[in-house]
Amino acid sequence: MEIIPSILIHNGQMARLIKGDFKKEKVYDLSPLDLAKQFESIGIQKLHLVDLDGAKKGRIVNYPTLETLAGHTSLKINFTGGLHTDGDVNKAFEFGADSITASTVSIYRPELFKAWMISYGREKIMLGADSLDHQIRVGGWLKETKVDLFKHIAYYYERGLKYIKTTDISREALLEGPPMELYEELLAQFPNLHVLAKGGVRDLADIEELKKIGIHSVIFSSSYYEGRITLKELSNFIASDH
């Protein structure tokens, strides 16, 4: 099982949003590069980098951060936020992303998202499907869509989708535990899908539980930044998992 730290960048700083609300933001006085190097030092191999400014503005904003992290670590970076055009995706890969996650495009321009899956390959293009009450939200979670989560995933799954990152927004940054039932339902309906679970992880026990039900990867952030999970615990988990 992969454990993947998430770094969210907003206004040039590391941040997190409580339940996806920009008005309920917590900013951390941490250096993304220092953090990335710490994670790399214990054997973590991947990083999820979220461009919150890009998600709001509809274009990549924080590509210098991507370039710095890609240039000074060997972490495989999955980049998301503001990816709306071929040019945006090209820019993300040009500045060092190993893969990208797109959500808004998958709703409003499905032909373009499918074209990316074909052009770049399904290892490189991940579907972001974040929901509130099983309905997809996009644009930094600010826009409702009335699109059902499971129908949306099924559409792309039938067309060869391999990776999906999904968040239950109601649990984001609350440290109240992951939505286990949602993930179990996803795994039952889409057995060949690699699910990356994000949101609600409180501690290592939650990560162990997600591993038990068959989750491919866990993306964590708040639990680490709030001291609920330590580097040593993560290091031990990686060592015991290999």
Model pLDDT, residue 214: 94
Output 52 or 118, whichever has higher pLDDT. 118
Q: pTM of the predicted model, to two decimals?
A: 0.91
Q: What is the pLDDT of residues 153-168, one digit of tens each?
A: 999 999 999 999 998 8
* Residue 223 pLDDT class (50, 70, 90 cuts): confident
Residue 89: give its domain's CATH number.
Answer: 3.20.20.70
Model pLDDT, residue 10: 85
- pLDDT exceeds cutoff 70 at 198: yes
Model pLDDT, residue 170: 78
- pLDDT exceeds cutoff 70 at 189: yes
Model pLDDT, residue 64: 94
Parent domain of 14: 2-241
Query: What is the residue-wise DSSP string for the chain?
Result: -EEEEEEEEETTEEEEEGGG-TTSEEEE---HHHHHHHHHHTT--EEEEEEHHHHHHTS---HHHHHHHHHH--PEEEEESS--SHHHHHHHHHTT-SEEEE-HHHHH-HHHHHHHHHHH-TTTEEEE--EETTEEEETTTTEEEEEEHHHHHHHHHTTT--EEEEEBGGGTTT-S---HHHHHHHHHH-TT-EEEEES---SHHHHHHHHHHT-SEEEE-HHHHTTSS-HHHHHHHHHHH-
Q: Per-residue pLDDT averaged across 91-106, rounded?
A: 96
Output 2 or 242, whichever has higher pLDDT. 2
* Residue 24 pLDDT class (50, 70, 90 cuts): low
- pLDDT exceeds cutoff 70 at 218: yes
Model pLDDT, residue 200: 86
- Which residues make beta-bridge pairs with 26? 16
Listed range (67-71, 106-110, 137-141, 192-196) with the worst mean pLDDT: 137-141
Please tell me the total count of domains within the chain: 1
Model pLDDT, residue 234: 95
